[in-house]
């Protein structure tokens, strides 16, 4: 809850500053909503829920999106996100190849390598989500018709796994296809909902969005056998990610002459 409150405080401060920039550089040059392509870079912080919370902790999503904005403020496009995290909660992970002297610190496991040395092998959360998005901007101002509350729905495909990073490939049990018996690969369809504020500056300096986001992944385990727990992994999962998301835009709106320009 504190995370959401802080996000909306940051939103209000940023909107106020953006409006001040427009006032400083002059009145609006555009009275009608503009249309054209929008290239967007997104980033967000997520809390895990559902089955995702049993395997991973907090994570980040970052990636590009390409949208088309109509003159009536509808949005259509595609987006791609990388899923990145450090907190892996699988207690049984690689249990069958650990020794009794092994220690575990945060995301680092210890193993004896082929040279007889004890080394640390880190594990990470890694994944991605790719989908098609559609939504609408509900404008609150006639003088700023491109700005307002944005509601965006995305549907597509997501995948995640445990990345066991044996950099020098010196642990025999973690070479080649053996890794597939430990990485907990899961994938499936997802549905994502975003609601927040979108702002296009008339002075061409500030274009952003910020808001709350929730993703529900209807995934399934894809490994035929897990070596540490000695069973297949075909279980169906409900993977939830929810948190704060923000983005920065490069709009490519059309002039009345139909020529493209960067604003």
Instruction: Specify the CATH number for the domain of residue 239.
Output: 2.40.160.20
Helix ranges (H only) for 26-156 are 51-55
E-assigned strand segments in 113-263 = 118-139, 148-164, 186-200, 207-221, 223-226, 231-233, 236-253
The domain in which residue 226 lies consists of 2-88+124-253
Please indicate, yes or no, if residue 116 is contained in any of the structural domains: no
Least Cα distance to 81 among 44, 33, 123 occurs for: 44
Tokens of 156: 């597509």
Does residue 107 belong to any structural domain of this protein? Answer: no
96 SS3 class: helix
In-domain check, residue 81: yes
**Residue 220 burial (CB count, 10 A):** 15
Residue 99 within a domain: no
In a domain, 58, yes or no: yes
Judge whether 200 lies within some domain: yes
Give 142's DSSP letter. S
Q: What is the pTM of this model?
A: 0.84
User: What's the confidence (pLDDT) of residue 26?
Assistant: 45
pLDDT in tens, the chain (263 residues): 555 555 555 555 555 555 554 454 444 444 688 899 999 999 999 999 999 999 999 999 999 999 999 999 999 999 999 999 999 998 889 988 887 777 666 688 888 888 888 888 999 999 999 999 999 999 988 888 999 999 999 999 999 999 999 988 889 889 888 999 999 999 999 999 999 999 998 776 789 999 999 999 999 999 999 999 999 999 999 999 999 999 999 998 876 444 444 44
Task: Take residue 11 and report the two structure tokens written for it.
Answer: 């939103």
pLDDT of 17 reads: 55
Instruction: Assess if residue 48 is contained within a domain.
Output: yes
Domain count, the chain: 1
Examine residue 260 and state whether it is found in any structural domain, yes or no.
Answer: no
Question: Contact 56/243 with Cβ under 8 angstroms?
Answer: no
pLDDT score at 257: 47
Give the up-direction half-sphere exposure of residue 223: CA atoms within 13 A in the CB hemisphere. 23
């Amino acid at each position: 809850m504190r995370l959401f409150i802080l996000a909306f405080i940051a939103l209000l401060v940023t909107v106020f500053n953006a409006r001040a920039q427009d006032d400083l550089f002059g009145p609006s040059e555009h009275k009608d909503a503009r249309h054209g392509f929008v290239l967007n870079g997104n980033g967000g912080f997520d809390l895990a829920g559902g089955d995702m919370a049993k395997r991973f902790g907090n994570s980040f999503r970052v990636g590009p999106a390409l949208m088309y904005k109509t003159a009536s403020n509808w949005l259509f496009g595609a987006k791609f996100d990388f899923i990145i995290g450090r907190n892996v909660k699988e207690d049984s992970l690689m249990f069958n190849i650990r020794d009794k002297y092994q220690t575990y610190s945060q995301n680092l496991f210890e193993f004896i390598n082929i040279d007889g040395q004890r080394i640390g092998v880190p594990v990470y959360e890694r994944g991605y989500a790719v989908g098609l998005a559609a939504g609408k901007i509900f404008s609150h101002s006639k003088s700023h018709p491109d700005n307002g509350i944005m509601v965006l729905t995305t549907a597509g495909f997501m995948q995640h796994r445990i990345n066991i990073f044996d950099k020098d490939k010196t642990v025999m049990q973690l070479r080649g296809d053996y890794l597939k018996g430990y990485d907990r690969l899961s994938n499936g369809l997802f549905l994502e909902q975003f609601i927040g504020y979108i702002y296009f500056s008339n002075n061409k300096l500030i274009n952003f969005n910020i808001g709350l986001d929730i993703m529900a992944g209807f995934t399934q385990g894809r490994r035929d056998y897990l070596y540490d727990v000695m069973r297949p992994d075909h279980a169906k999962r409900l993977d939830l990610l929810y948190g704060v998301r923000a983005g920065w835009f490069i709009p490519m709106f059309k002039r009345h002459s139909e020529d493209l320009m960067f604003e």
